[in-house]
Amino acid sequence: PSKVLELWDQFDNLEKHTQWGIDILEKYIKFVKERTEIELSYDLSKVPTKKNSKEEGETSMFTIKNMSEKQRVLITSVFSPLQNFHDGRKAQQHIETCWKQLESSKRRFERDCKEADRAQQYFEKMDADINVTKADVEKARQQAQIRHQMAEDSKADYSSILQKFNHEQHEYYHTHIPNIFQKIQEMEERRIVRIGDSMKTYAEVDRQVIPIIGKCLDGIVKAAESIDQKNDSQLVIEAYKSGFEPPGDIEFEDYTQPMKRTVSDNSLSNSRGEGKPDLKFGGKSKGKLWPFIKKNKGATPEDFSNLPPEQRRKKLQQKVDELNKEIQKEMDQRDAITKMKDVYLKNPQMGDPASLDHKLAEVSQNIEKLRLETQKFEFAFYLHLPRNLKCPDTAFSGQNEGTISVVEGETLYVIEEDKGDGWTRIRRSEEEEGYVPTSYVEVYLDKNAKGAKTYI
């Protein structure tokens, strides 16, 4: 016989011990479930790009599926001991009920015997008294007989219930309890074995991951050894340069001498083209800002048109690249949800496939929205590319107010195209701008412009 039968009188302590084991099991199951869900979600979020990656993903999915199966087996092992203890409590309550019935019949038998004895003594006393009538004696005799009969009936009932209780008690301690305790012992041992198997599985999985971690560390070392500080510095320069030329010397403005200009001096009649009306912005000497003087910046426009040409081009390109990455991320998520839905279709116990339809629709809407946003910024990228102006043949001195000098082959930015008056407004640096005759220049769109340059 099993040694667990030695605990026949320790049902409560055995139940407490088993409940403690169940609590430990539930905590372990919770850990298994949460880790499985995290790893499954991460595995489905990866999009294999190579055959080996795909095979590794399938292997990982198979491993996670095995973990889920072990989790289901562990959950099943929780409820069997509970059912066994329920049966044990039921048998215990039954034997307690039988004991109460036995005690009740015993007390009734004892009470009836005492009542019969008192009735017999009363009858004998009445029968010995010569002053008592025969009627009273007969009445006492009948009452004594009734009490004796009740005592006999109680005795028979007590004997029957006692035999029944002894039988039930024998069955309880030699049949029911041994069977229940035996099942509890078997389930406890199976639970321990299954937890051990599950822990062994996790250890084997982690051991398989160790080489992958080693490869990651090798990649980190390789990346650290490939650092090129000179190239990194150049990347910073390329990322932040504005494309403008540094400001030139500020000319001295003499306010002590009155400004005397004749009509012929203010006209461009000696130049090619007609004169431009009074222009308030000058050439090199006016309007320049030092690079370290911060401007009062307001809200940044969505198309970054407030930035210098080079920075604007890079910001727009960066925005387009970011949107493309977000689109790719959403597409990866859509593929992952599709894979998860396929897993749910093949394994309904892991989840409801229909619950992912709403998420798929939401991701598709996000992709469409991001694509429209990308198209908008791509259009802005090409729209805001700087229009360059090249002076192909003839230099222009730009000595008059409002004009700017240019030399042959110089490339500048167009601020305002010719509106029919024969003049084009251009800019050389951040604040150095003015008008030149349109006939002196050639305007074109340069998609690869890197800022203002001068070609000699």
Sign of CA dihedral 348, 354, 359, 364: positive
- Find the angle CA(61)-CA(195)-CA(66) to the nearest 5 degrees: 15
CB 437 within 8 A of CB 271: yes
- 157: pLDDT strictly greater than 90: yes
Higher-confidence position of 399 and 52 = 399
Q: Which of residues 224, 259, 288 is at a domain's end?
A: 224
Residue 300's pLDDT band, with cuts at 50, 70 and 90, is low
Instruction: Please state, rounded to an integer, the average pLDDT across all residues of the chain.
Output: 74
Measured CA to CA, the distance from residue 426 to residue 388 in angstroms comes to 9
Q: Are residues 432 and 377 part of one domain?
A: no
Note the pLDDT of residue 258. Answer: 59
Q: Which residue has the higher pLDDT, 150 or 304?
A: 150
Average pLDDT of the residues in 441-445: 69
- Give the confidence band of 54 by pLDDT, cuts at 50, 70, 90: very low
Average pLDDT over residues 334-357: 86
Stretch among 204-218, 223-237, 295-309 having the lowest mean pLDDT: 295-309
Which contacts qualify for 411-416: CB closer than 8 Å, 24 or more apart? 411/446, 411/452, 411/453, 411/454, 411/455, 412/388, 412/452, 413/309, 413/386, 413/387, 413/388, 413/389, 413/452, 414/386, 414/387, 414/388, 414/389, 414/443
Residue range 365-385: mean pLDDT, rounded: 79
Given 164, 190, 224, the domain boundary residue is 224
**Whether residue 207 sits in one domain with residue 122:** yes
Give the whole-angstrom CA distance, residue 369 versus residue 199: 46
pTM value?
Answer: 0.38
Domain that holds residue 22: 3-44+54-224
**Residues 69 and 7 reside in one and the same domain:** yes
- Is 240 a member of any domain? no
Residue 256 lies in a domain: no
Orientation angle between helical segments 11-45 and 309-346, nearest 10 degrees: 130
Mean pLDDT of 167-195: 84
CA-to-CA separations, 7 to 90, 178, 316, in angstroms, rounded: 18, 10, 79
Phi, psi of 10 (to 5 degrees): -120, 40
CATH number at residue 148: 1.20.1270.60
Assess whether 61 and 196 both reside in one domain.
yes
Residues 340 and 417 in one domain: no
| Lowest pLDDT segment from 13-17, 225-229, 262-266, 435-439 | 262-266
Determine the Cα–Cα distance for residues 74 and 80; give it in Å rounded to an integer: 11
The string of pLDDT tens digits covering residues 67-94 is 555 555 555 555 555 676 777 778 888 8
Of 224, 239, 272, the one marking the end of a domain is 224
Q: What is the percent of the chain where pLDDT is above 70?
A: 69
Residue 196 reports pLDDT greater than 50: yes
Query: Does pLDDT of 345 surpass 80?
Result: yes
Q: Which residue has the higher pLDDT, 169 or 54?
A: 169
pLDDT in the model for residue 112: 92
Q: Which of 83-87, 121-125, 404-408, 448-452 has the lowest mean pLDDT?
A: 448-452
Q: Are 253 and 320 in contact (CB under 8 A)?
A: no
Instruction: Provide the CA 58 distance to its chain's centre, in angstroms.
Output: 23
Q: In this structure, is the dihedral angle defined by the CA atoms of residues 129, 133, 134 and 138, taken in order, positive or negative? A: negative
Based on the domain organization, do 163 and 204 belong to the same domain? yes
- 262 burial (CB, 10 Å; 0-12 / 13-18 / 19+) is exposed
**pLDDT confidence of 2, banded at 50, 70, 90?**
low
Structure tokens at 378: 């791509």
CATH number of the domain that residue 389 is part of: 2.30.30.40
Q: CA separation (Å) from 288 to 135, 246, 297, 414? A: 146, 10, 17, 18
Report the alpha-carbon distance of residue 169 to residue 216 in Å, rounded: 68
Report the alpha-carbon distance of residue 109 to residue 103 in Å, rounded: 10
Mean pLDDT is highest, among 9-18, 19-28, 385-394, 447-456, for 19-28
Q: Are residues 320 and 414 in the same domain?
A: no
More confident residue, 109 or 376: 109
Window from 54-68, 150-164, 418-432 with minimum mean pLDDT:
54-68
Do 374 and 389 lie in one domain? The reply is: no
Count of structural domains within the chain: 3
Strand 387-390 vs strand 442-445: parallel, antiparallel, or unpaired? antiparallel
What CA–CA distance (Å, rounded) separates 411 from 409? 7
Q: How much is the pLDDT for 152? A: 92
Tell me: pLDDT of 131 over 80: yes
Does residue 152 lie in a domain region? Answer: yes
What is the pLDDT at residue 343? 87
Q: Are residues 349 and 430 both part of a single domain?
A: no
Q: Would you state the pLDDT for residue 385?
A: 54
Give the pairing of strands 410-416 and 453-454.
antiparallel
Q: Grade residue 310 by pLDDT with cuts at 50, 70 and 90.
A: low
- For the stretch 133-148, pLDDT in tens is 888 888 988 999 999 9
Neighbours of 28 (CB within 10 A): 15
Q: Distance (Å, rounded) from C-alpha 204 to C-alpha 194?
A: 15
State whether 17 and 154 are in the same domain: yes
**pLDDT at 271 > cutoff 50:** no
**69 and 154 co-located in one domain:** yes
Residue 110 banded pLDDT, cuts 50, 70, 90? very high
Average pLDDT score over residue span 332-351: 87
434 is a domain residue = yes
Residue 5: band (very low, low, confident or very high) from pLDDT cuts 50, 70, 90: low
If asked whether residues 440 and 419 sit together in one domain, one would say yes
Give the pLDDT mean for 385-412.
Answer: 64
Is 61 a domain residue?
yes
Residue at 238 is within a domain: no
β pairing state of 410-416 and 387-390: antiparallel
Q: Per the domain annotation, does 233 fall within a domain?
A: no
